[in-house]
Structure formats: structure tokens, C-alpha cells
Amino acid sequence: MVVRIIAASIFALGFAGAAFAQDSTAPAVRTAEGDTLLIERVREENTAAMPARGMSAQEVESKFGAPSSKLDPRGGQKHQWPTINRWTYPTFTVYFEKNRVIDAVANKADANEVGPKPAIR
């Protein structure tokens, strides 16, 4: 008896869903709109304006000029932990392992930009 009730309910839900899908008043395509995420915007805007992974320190300096500052190296306490050097420019920071770029990160995309709230500890 319980099986028949469940089967009848599933059939009724399937029939109702099929009837809704064939409704001619519903729009054929639904699109969602929203803000562009900061990370997507930074990737789009700054890809060409920042050093690429694998560039040498000399290539970075010749293309972008001398950095605003060269920060103290981090890491290197063990052989497994390579030394990471950081150079800061007005719009981005470059991270080097040995003499090669491993990453370049935008400092801030916009002066009025509000980032995420800090983590609660």
C-alpha cells in the first residue's frame, strides 16, 4: 500500500514537471546577471601588465623598470623550502624562486574597492 502511494506521488510529480516544461509562456533561455568577481577582473585587466610566470628577474627589471622595493627573502631554512624573493611595484608584487617568476599579484584593483571582511578568530 505504501509503495503504491509513493509510486503515485512520483508519477504525479513527473507529470506536473513535464506540463511545466511545455509551458509556452515561460522564457526559452534564462540568464543570470551579476557583478564581475574581483579575481576575474584582475585577471582580465592585468594579465598583460604584469610579469609572466617563468620570466627571469633581469627580464622583469628590463620590461617593468626597477622595483619600488625589494623585500627581505623568506624561506630557505631547509632544502625543501626554497627561498622566495619579493619585488613590489606600484600596481603589483612579483614573487621569485631563485631567479624566476613564480607569481605576480595585483596590489589593489581600484582605490575605492572594498575587499572581504577579515576572518573572525
pLDDT in tens, 55-102: 999 999 999 999 999 999 999 899 889 999 999 998 889 999 989 999
Q: Classify residue 47: in a domain, yes or no.
A: no
User: C-alpha dihedral over 101, 107, 109, 111, to 10 degrees?
Assistant: -160
Q: Classify residue 66: in a domain, yes or no.
A: yes
Q: Classify residue 31: in a domain, yes or no.
A: no
CB 108 within 8 A of CB 88: no
Q: What is the pLDDT of residues 2-61, one digit of tens each?
A: 445 554 555 555 555 555 555 556 556 666 565 556 666 656 655 668 899 999 999 999
User: C-alpha dihedral over 41, 47, 50, 51, to 10 degrees?
Assistant: 140
Which domain covers residue 60, as residue numbers? 53-106
Q: Classify residue 71: in a domain, yes or no.
A: yes
Burial 87-113 (b: 16+ CB within 10 A, else e): bebeebbbbbeeeebeebebeeeeeee
* Rg of the chain over all Cα atoms, to the nearest angstrom: 27
Which ranges constitute the DSSP H helices of the chain?
Answer: 2-21, 38-46, 57-64
Give the pTM: 0.55
Q: Classify residue 89: in a domain, yes or no.
A: yes
CB 87 within 8 A of CB 67: yes
One-letter amino acid of 74:
R
Q: Classify residue 96: in a domain, yes or no.
A: yes
How many domains does the chain contain in total? 1
> Hey, CA dihedral for 9, 14, 15, 20, is it positive or negative?
positive
Q: Classify residue 41: in a domain, yes or no.
A: no
Q: Classify residue 18: in a domain, yes or no.
A: no
